Amino acid sequence: MIHILAKIKDGAITELPVSKASRDEFLATGLNLMDTDSIAALGFVAVEAPPYVYDQYIYKLANPVQIDGAWKAEWVVDAAATQEDIAYKSSKEAKQVRETRNLLLSQCDWTQLPDSLVNKGAWAAYRQALRDLSTQAGFPWQITWPTQP
């Protein structure tokens, strides 16, 4: 579970997550999210949520409820997200996957040098599998990373 800062007024959450201005206001206090009594006195609460979902959809926090004194929320698909928003998110994820792939390729360049004492064929196959990541059906959200030989 993760904890996300929210503003509360009269027992109801008014901002989830908080705006940049509210976040800066909270940070200026020097308090910790887990100092629940102190942050509550300032009009803030920590809302517990499951880890963020990483896929092609755009999510927002919703349905905050108080259970046994703790605030909890869940991630739901943001129906207001446009196709352009989703395409932008997918392009950012694809860029990140390619950057990781390029790093992995550079880390094993040495395996293809003439004097390296490794199974060059196995390493060449691994390197090709890295290059082929973008052709996998679920790219960039559901890919299977190859295993180093």
Condensed to tens digits (0 to 9), the pLDDT of residues 6-16 reads: 999 988 899 88
Contact 86, 57 (CB under 8 A): yes
- Domain assignment of residue 148, yes or no: no
Q: What is the number of structural domains in the chain?
A: 2
- Domain assignment of residue 145, yes or no: no
Question: Of 42, 77, 112, which residue sits at a domain end?
Answer: 77
Contact 63, 74 (CB under 8 A): yes
Same-domain pairing of 61 and 18: yes
Phi and psi for 106 in degrees, rounded to 5? Answer: -65, -30
Q: Which domain holds residue 8?
A: 2-77
Please determine, for residue 33, whether its predicted confidence score (pLDDT) is greater than 80: no
- Domain assignment of residue 140, yes or no: no
Rounded to the nearest angstrom, the gap between the alpha carbon of residue 120 and the centroid of all alpha carbons in its chain is 35
Q: What is the pTM of this model?
A: 0.64
CA-CA distance, 4 to 124, in Å (whole number)? 45
Give mean pLDDT, residues 104-125: 94
- Domain assignment of residue 141, yes or no: no
The residue behind tokens 């390729």 is 105
